[in-house]
Amino acid sequence: MADNILEMRGITKEFPAVKALDNVNFAVKRGSIHALVGENGAGKSTLMNVLSGLYPYGTYTGDIVYEGEVCRFSKIKDSENKGIVIIHQELALVPYMSIGENMFLGNEQGRKFAIDWGKTHAEATKYLKIVGLAEPSTTLIKDIGVGKQQMVEIAKALAKNARLLVLDEPTSSLNEADSQALLDLLLEFKKQGMSSIIISHKINEVAYVADDITILRDGKTIETLTKGKDDFSEERIIRGMVGREIEDRFPKRHGVKIGDVSLEVEHWNVYHPIYTEKKVIDDVSFSVRSGEVVGFSGLMGAGRTELAMSIFGRSYGTSISGTVKIHGKEVKLHSPRQAIEAGLAYVTEDRKGSGLILSNPLTVNTTLANLHGVTVRGVIDRDKELSVAEQYRKKLSTKTPSVMQNVGNLSGGNQQKVLLSKWMYAEPDILIMDEPTRGIDVGAKYEIYCIINDLVAEGKSVIMISSELPEVLGMCDRIYVLNEGRIVGEFDQEEASQEKIMARIISSDSAEKEKEQ
Amino acid sequence: MTTKTKILNFVQKYTMIIALVLVTAFFTWRTGGKILMPQNITNIISQNAYVFVLATGMLCCILTGGNIDLSVGSVVCFVGTIGAVLMNKNLNMWLAVIIMLLVGVAIGAWQAFWIAYVKVPPFITTLAGMLIFRGLSNVVLEGKTMAVTNEAFVKIFGGGADCYVPDLFNGSNLNLLCLIVGIIACLLYLFFTVRNIAARKRTGLETDAAYKVAVKSVIIVAVVMFFTVRLAQYKGLPMALIWVAAVILIYTYITSKTTVGRYLYAIGGNETATKLSGINTKSIYFFAYTNMGFLAGLAGILTIARLTSAQPTYGQNYEMDAIGSCFIGGASAYGGVGTVPGVIIGALLMGIINIGMSIMGVDANYQKVVKGLVLLAAVIFDVVSKKKNG
């Protein structure tokens, strides 16, 4: 028998009304990287929550065998003491505390009533070095980027003497370069004998880093693929996840006519809202035509979201200058209301934080940006609102028991559809979609792509901001490349490729550095 | 759905009403039915008129994200003081009433400006207001009591012995006007229920099962008629009830049917999302706190009319009564959740506990302890039941 650090045998976990895990078997070899993949709702996170003790022993059936002994964790601390550390998708760091303070939060160095700050920072520095972070441990979390924050999370896990590291979607908010660095770090750890479990939607990353891949579907283990023995191609893995072949991940657009310029932005400059000296967007000009899908590609922090939000009624930034023309006419957009009235919509990247009211039903969320559509002289026609919500639920085939359901209870993909419903009901001409498929599964992504195609077929324009290059390449007629607040490249669909886009970003970076010197 | 979950759902949906019934039943038992005597029912309404009015306004503030207004007690006092001074100078009472309401609105707008447009935290702004307007009341009254002698004013807004709607029909033992108003209210309720169902059927939307609607209607009509008869047996409709009913109806409508109401809930649910949906969130905050000032003005009018005087100590702890009623009535401390009827039930519950304990002769200090525990229990229940769902 292989030397397994962890075995989960016959795990079954039921929630009221649903069986989240159904007799799942899962084994991690010592010193290997094991990937766990599956669509949203397949049970990956539930399985890890069982492992960590968040769902304590007794609430599930089956055995967890770790280091050869059966474990019965009743709380997270129990599993952490054994060296199983989970890094969750949402980073759990306190912005106004330093890196060192964060790393030892709940694990303070020194005595209970006398924290030893010298030791704290010395230890922190030691682990930061391991993950390759040069930042002093006294830097505040809010002052470092998401990529570095993710590294701090890993350093924090190491500080807990992790022997089995579990990473839940570690790269979902990272750009390509940071993702690569993180994956390489995992490979480095593997060399030193660390075992890891990685949950990810990004199949190319999984194939790159994993030794074994276990595929979950509908709460069941479908199969485990092993490197060198099985095929690790994207098609093979996706087939396992969805139970069918997806021949084409991006639906074709047929006969969509690209018309006149609908949105034209010229010499757009934006400064940072707090550090008002810092230029976030630097002399950006671009245009979008009706019936066209235009992509904005770039690394995290390149200024894509900032560009979109500053155009959308100055929702971001200060000292904004430049002109916006819609259908050839210059418009002044000083508030989201004006932007919406001019025919713009901004579908946020952060659907939970700034897109939806999770505690409210689909009805309220669907009409929020266009409440006037269901009101007569300031009075809401509830029945009309209900039928509007119902209409969009059908149109986008949102899966929900009813439109009176609170959107917080829906899956990520369905929440995204509700967010789209809201903006479609506002009847814009130009939709800016910021990371429209972040954190949703393959099937739901395909549906979102179809909706985008329907929108441009109606003659609308779509601006798509995305960190996933294949998606930008597969969906967009034209692609702008943004780096450090400037447009550094523009490609047509035919000429664009992942390599060309990355090359453009890197060359502009080095050009910048030369200039500084 | 099993019977067990059905019962659980029912209990969760009607928690407050069940609590109200149980508490009423308890005091009916302990006071030998005294609490349901016509005079006591009248008292519950008159004595708590200010709580109903303030709690309604407080709900609008709380909906925006758990924001409270600590200044309302002081504003009540200050507005009352202004009114007393004006009427002592023999100003026309209606003019005085309008000025008092305007003063309320002005104070509300002053605080709302800082909260909405300068982003001073509501807690701080209204804490300052609490000190400022208490102090100003003292300055104007020079620390003394000022009597309100305008009889017409006291009759129309008061809750005292003679402050009832005169019986136009001269019923001998029963106040006929009161009965007729009660019957009309029931008929209106039934009319709107039927009309609503018809409209929903026409547009092809789901409707509640017929028996459910029938049971609900029968219960509501029975309760309304019971209290109407009780009131009629005493002196009829207290004037305070008219003002309270108007506030409840108008604000139930605003919060549930209008865009402004919807936006109050939306901000409490997710402020960024609301802002990005093209809604002027600042103006909604401004509305909530200006409106609070207006209702505090109204409460000030009701208070000096009931007590027929103005004193620098009036309105103390009124803010706590209002805030407590909101949370007992199911408003969320994080905003976005709560209804006017819920808050009114919360206020009623507090009122009944107050008067019930008074009749039983419980020491005033123990009354405070009990009220505090009820508030805590209500919020604990809210938090725990939410945790189970989530």
In this predicted model, what pLDDT tens digit does every residue of A363-419 receive, in sequence order? Answer: 999 999 999 999 998 899 988 999 999 999 999 888 888 888 889 888 888 899 999
Give a yes or no: residue B158 inside a domain: yes
Phi, psi (5° rounding) for residue A442? Answer: -55, -45
Residues B275 and B334 in one domain: yes
Whether the CB-CB separation of A108 and A115 falls below 8 Å is answered with yes
Chain B residues whose beta carbon lies within 8 Å of the beta carbon of residue A387? 203, 205
Same domain as B353, residue B247: yes
Q: Are residues B340 and B376 in the same domain?
A: yes
Question: Count of CB contacts below 8 A, A vs B?
Answer: 84
Residues 179-218 of B with CB under 8 A from A: 199-200, 203, 205
Measured between beta carbons, which residues in chain B are less than 8 angstroms from residue A340? 277-278
Q: Is residue B5 situated within a structural domain? A: no
- Taking a C-beta distance cutoff of 8 angstroms, is the pair A388, A425 a contact? yes
Chain B: give the shortest CA distance to residue A408, in Å.
9
- Residues of chain B contacting A315 with CB distance shorter than 8 Å: 275-276
What integer best gives the mean pLDDT of chain A? Answer: 87
- How near does any CA of chain B get to the CA of A365, in Å? 9
- Put simply, the answer to whether B274 touches A313 (Cβ < 8 Å) is no
B275 and A337 in contact by Cβ < 8 A?
no
Query: Residue B74 sits in which domain range?
Result: 28-162+239-383
Min distance A369 CA to chain B CA atoms (Å): 4
Residue B390's pLDDT is what? 40
Q: What pLDDT score was predicted for residue A257?
A: 87
All residues of chain B having their beta carbon less than 8 Å from the beta carbon of residue A357 are 266, 269-270, 273-274, 336
The reply to whether residue A313 touches residue B278, judged by beta carbons under 8 angstroms, is yes
Question: Which of B220, B237, B254 is the last residue in one of the domains?
Answer: B237
Return the residue of B nearest to A386 by Cα.
Answer: B205
| A335 at interface of B, judged by CB pairs closer than 8 A | yes
Q: Which residues in chain A are closer than 8 Å to B277, comparing Cβ atoms?
A: 336, 340, 368-369, 422
Q: Is residue B62 part of a domain?
A: yes
The sign of the CA dihedral B253, B258, B264, B268 is positive
Nearest CA in chain B to A373: B259
- What's residue A264's pLDDT? 94
Searching chain B, which residue's CA lies closest to the CA of residue A350? B273
Taking CB atoms and an 8 Å cutoff, what residues of chain A touch B269? 357-360, 364
Residue B93 shares a structural domain with residue B215: no
* Whether residue B251 sits in one domain with residue B130: yes
Count of domains in chain B?
2
Identity of the residue in A360, A372, A375 whose CB atom sits nearest the CB atom of B269: A360
- Helix residue spans in A115-225 (DSSP H): 117-130, 146-159, 176-191, 203-209
Answer whether residue A422 shows pLDDT above 80: yes
Q: In Å, how far from its chain's centre is CA A366?
A: 23
Q: Are residues A360 and B265, on separate chains, in Cβ contact within 8 Å?
A: yes
Any chain B CB within 8 A of the CB of A360?
yes
Distance CA A469, CA B175 (A): 79
B256/B379 same-domain check: yes
Residue B218 lies in a domain: yes
Q: Could you tell me if B137 and B249 lie in one domain?
A: yes
Reply yes or no on whether the pLDDT at A64 is more than 70.
yes
CB-closest option in B262, B276, B337 to A336: B276
Q: What are the chain A neighbours of B266 within 8 Å (beta carbons)?
A: 357, 360, 364, 368
Give which of A239, A206, A229, A231 is closest to A34, Cα–Cα: A206
Give pLDDT, residue A247. 57
Q: What confidence score (pLDDT) does residue A1 get?
A: 47
CATH of the domain at B38: 1.10.3470
Separation CA B29–CA B356 (nearest Å): 10
Partner-chain residue, chosen from B203, B273, B278, that has the shortest CB–CB distance to A383? B203
Beta-bridge mates of residue A166: A86, A197
Rounded CA-CA distance B150/B163 in Å is: 13
**Which residue of B lies nearest to A369 if distances are taken between CA atoms?**
B277
B369 shares its domain with B318: yes
Write the DSSP assignment of A221-244 as a string of letters: EEEEEETTTS---HHHHHHHHHSS
Q: A17 in contact with B at a CB cutoff of 8 Å?
A: no
The pLDDT-based confidence of A239 (bands split at 50, 70, 90) is confident
In the predicted structure, residue A333 carries a pLDDT above the cut 80: yes
Domain boundary among B237, B259, B274: B237
A353 has a chain B CB within 8 A of its CB: yes
**Rounded to 5°, angle at Cα A442 from A436 and A447:** 60
pLDDT tens, residue by residue, A85-127: 998 877 778 888 899 988 888 878 888 778 888 888 999 999 9
* Residue A410, Cβ density class (10 Å: 0-12 exposed, 13-18 middle, ≥19 buried): buried
Q: Does B32 share its domain with B153? A: yes
**Among all residues of chain A, which has the CA nearest to that of B258?**
A379
User: Are B273 and A308 spatial neighbours (Cβ–Cβ below 8 Å)?
Assistant: no
Asked if residue B202 belongs to a domain, the reply is yes
Of B259, B272, B274, the CB nearest to A353: B272
Integer Cα distance of A97 and A99 in angstroms: 7
Identify the closest residue of chain B to A370 by CA–CA distance: B277
**What pLDDT score does B389 carry?**
47
User: Could you tell me the pTM of the whole model?
Assistant: 0.79
Same domain as B89, residue B207: no
Residues B202 and B279 in one domain: no
Query: Who among B205, B258, B275 is closest to A336 (CB)?
Result: B275
Check residue B171 and give its pLDDT: 64
Is the CB of A368 less than 8 angstroms away from the CB of B257? Answer: no
Q: Answer yes or no: is B389 within a domain.
A: no
Q: Is residue B17 part of a domain?
A: no
Report the distance separating Cα A163 and Cα A155, nearest Å: 13
Contact at CB, A364 and B262, closer than 8 angstroms? yes
- Please report the sign of the dihedral spanned by the C-alpha atoms of residue B243, residue B245, residue B247, residue B250: negative
* pLDDT (tens digit per residue) in A31-40: 999 999 887 6
Nearest-CB residue to B259 (from A353, A360, A371): A371
Residue B68 lies in a domain: yes
CA nearest A409 in B: which residue? B390
Q: Is B257 in contact with A335 (Cβ distance < 8 A)?
A: no
B279/A contact by beta carbon, under 8 A? yes
pLDDT, tens digit (0-9, with 9 covering 90-100), for A461-496 = 999 999 888 889 899 999 999 988 999 999 998 898
Which segments in chain B show pLDDT lower than 50?
Answer: 389-390
Instruction: Output the pLDDT for position A325.
Output: 95
Does A401 touch chain B if contact means CB atoms closer than 8 Å? no
- Put simply, the answer to whether A355 touches B273 (Cβ < 8 Å) is yes
Cα–Cα distance measured from residue A461 to residue A299, given in angstroms and rounded to the nearest whole number: 23
Do the Cβ atoms of B199 and A422 come within 8 Å?
no
Q: Do B259 and A372 touch (CB under 8 A)?
A: yes
Scanning A70-109 for CB atoms below 8 A from B yields none
Distance from CA of B270 to the nearest CA of A (A): 5
Which DSSP string corresponds to B129-174?
HHHHHHHHHHHHHTTS-EE---HHHHHHH--STT-B---TT--SSS
B104 neighbors B296 (Cβ within 8 angstroms): yes
Same domain, B65 and B176: no
Q: Which helix (H) or strand (E) holds A323?
A: strand A318-326
d(CA A48, CA A36): 10
Rounded mean pLDDT of A3-16? 87
Task: Note the pLDDT of residue A514.
Answer: 59
Cβ-defined contact of B258 to A379 (cutoff 8 Å): yes
pLDDT at A18: 65
Contact B337 A359 (CB under 8 A): yes
Contact B270 A358 (CB under 8 A): yes
- d(CA B28, CA A63) in angstroms, rounded, equals 57
Q: Which of A340, A356, A359 to mutate to test the interface with B (most CBs of B within 10 A)?
A: A359
